[in-house]
Amino acid sequence: MGFDEDGIARMLALEDPDALAALFREARAVKLAECGPGIAVRGLVEAGNVCAKDCLYCGIRRSNARVLRYTMSMAELVAAAETARRIGYASIVLQGGELESEANTRRVEEFLARIAPLGLGVTLSLGEQEPAVYRRWREAGAARYLLRIETSDPELYSRLHPPTCSFSRRRDCLVRLRELGYQVGTGVMCALPGQTTRQLARDVLFFREIDADMIGMGPYIPHPDTPLAAADTGLTDEARLRLGLKLIAVTRLVLRDVNIAASTALQALADDGRERGILAGANVLMPNITPAGYRASYRLYRNKPGGGEDDAAVRVDLDRRLAKIGESALYGRSGDSRHYVRRVDIPGREA
Ligand code: 5AD
């Protein structure tokens, strides 16, 4: 398709309400044509907030001494996966702070082995790891991996991360994951201090260049206990949300058949933020199934929604929200990215 940096940057700069409505409508039509009706759902398990990294924007960064650190036990992890099965989420995402240790690698392997009988689709979101670790987890049953690049601009990346973080290592990880046969997800934050629409346009081209299967993006939301909060540009919640929606729409138009999540950050900015994400072209929701007692400790940014405590009520609420916008959740389906199914050419495999 003929989308270049200029064209994408122009779409991202649109502010006229009619032009925006047309952009979202078109993206929504592409979602329906390429991904079909329905919204894929994954239960999100926030497995622990102990993190070796010190990203300047993130509430669970290592130096934030105000966070109560937790690590879910194996029994809690398995119970969360069983909860997903019971609710009807055929897929889970295991996310957590970035840790590189043999103990952590083994723990994830054990978890994957323990839940294999449940037949859930499993996505890991556990940060940068050595290729051997990614291989072990793939062999233990993980089929998908999410690793946001956060920004594809190396200079902006270096302003958001301590010098110990390497942009090129992060990008290399995405390449390795892809070689190992994972469905690969990446993404960025928008509305970052000092970020331009041109950088965001290049982010979208980066997704295409690495041929991502899944995209998770969301507006940056300052967290008061982080260094980046002081640099904040003071955008309104609505302006942050609008930029997030535009980025979803444009990514849908450019990448077409990938999975795109309506992220929790959208909901932090407006109660119906995720629904608006779907109306702008997203096709995946990730309801939180972390045990309620831990949720307040996995606070990446201000006002992060905890979700309901009662899993059955969460499903009722989700169904009601989706029905309002003429959508419904695809319970019982693991929801492979169409892009992945097409690129690996799995005959008869249904997304
Ligand atoms: N605002 C929005 N998103 C954030 N993340 C981390 N901190 C913030 C923040 N302050 C996102 C990052 C990370 C994901 C798990 O959460 O993009 O990859």
Q: Is the CB of 98 under 6 A from ligand 1?
A: no
Task: Determine the distance separating the centroid of ligand 1 and the alpha carbon of 36, expressed in angstroms.
Answer: 29
Average pLDDT value over all residues in the chain: 95
pLDDT band at 350 (very low <50, low <70, confident <90, very high): low
Cβ-based burial of 26 (10 A; exposed 0-12, middle 13-18, buried ≥19): middle
The structure's pTM equals 0.97
Alpha-carbon distance of 196 to 178, in angstroms, equals 29
Q: Parallel, antiparallel, or unpaired for β 144-146 and 183-186?
A: parallel
Tell how far the Cα of 301 is from the centroid of ligand 1, in angstroms. Answer: 7
Q: Which of 218, 94, 96, 211 is nearest to 144 (CA)?
A: 94
Model pLDDT for residues 257-311, shown as the tens digit of each residue: 999 999 999 999 999 999 999 999 999 999 999 999 999 999 999 888 887 778 7
> To test ligand 1's pocket by mutation, which of 226, 300, 304 has the most ligand atoms within 8 angstroms of CB?
300
Report residue 262 CA to chain centroid gap. Answer: 8
Q: Among 1-5, 148-152, 286-290, 291-295, where is mean pLDDT lowest?
A: 1-5
- Give φ, ψ of 146 to 5 degrees: -110, 125
Q: 283 alpha carbon to ligand 1 midpoint, in Å?
A: 20
Q: How confident is the model at residue 312 (pLDDT cuts 50, 70, 90)?
A: confident
Mean pLDDT of 326-344: 94
pLDDT score recorded for residue 345? 81
Reported as a single tens digit per residue, the pLDDT across 82-105 is: 999 999 999 999 999 999 999 999
Parallel/antiparallel/unpaired status of strands 91-96 and 121-125? parallel
CA 197 to CA 320: how far, in whole Å? 35
The finding on whether 300 has its CB within 6 A of some atom of ligand 1 is yes
Q: Which residues contact 142 (CB under 8 A, 6 or more apart)?
A: 108, 112, 122, 123, 124, 182
**C-alpha distance from residue 160 to each of 57, 148, 156, 163 (Å):** 7, 13, 6, 10
Residues 6 or more apart in contact with residue 129 via CB below 8 angstroms = 100, 105, 137, 173
Q: Is residue 265 within 6 Å of ligand 1 at its C-beta? A: yes
- Give the residue from 2, 1, 5 showing the smallest Cα distance to 205: 5
Ligand 1 atom nearest to CA at 221: 1
- Which residues, 6 or more positions from 17, have their beta carbon under 8 angstroms from its beta carbon? none
Tell me what pLDDT residue 346 has. 73
Residues in the chain, total? 351
* 237-261 per-position pLDDT tens digit: 999 999 999 999 999 999 999 999 9
Asked whether the predicted pLDDT for residue 160 surpasses 60, the reply is yes
Q: For ligand 1, is residue 298 a contact (CB within 6 Å)?
A: no
End-to-end Cα spacing for the chain: 24
For a mutational test of ligand 1's pocket, the pick from 94, 124, 150, 189, i.e. the residue with the most ligand atoms closer than 8 A to its C-beta, is 189
**Torsion from C-alpha of 121, 125, 129, 134, nearest 10 degrees:** 10
Is the Cα dihedral 172, 259, 132, 59 positive or negative?
positive
Distance 300 CA to ligand 1 centre (A): 6
Compute and round to an integer the Cα radius of gyration of the chain. Answer: 19
Q: Is the per-residue pLDDT at 234 higher than 90?
A: no
Q: Is the CB of 170 under 6 A from ligand 1?
A: no
3-state secondary structure of 120: coil
H or E, element range at 322: helix 311-324
Task: Indicate if the pLDDT at residue 127 is higher than 90.
Answer: yes
Confidence of residue 14 (pLDDT cuts 50, 70, 90): very high
Which residue has tokens 């309620």?
A: 292
* Cα distance between residue 294 and residue 177, in whole Å: 29
Phi, psi of 262 (to 5 degrees): -90, 105
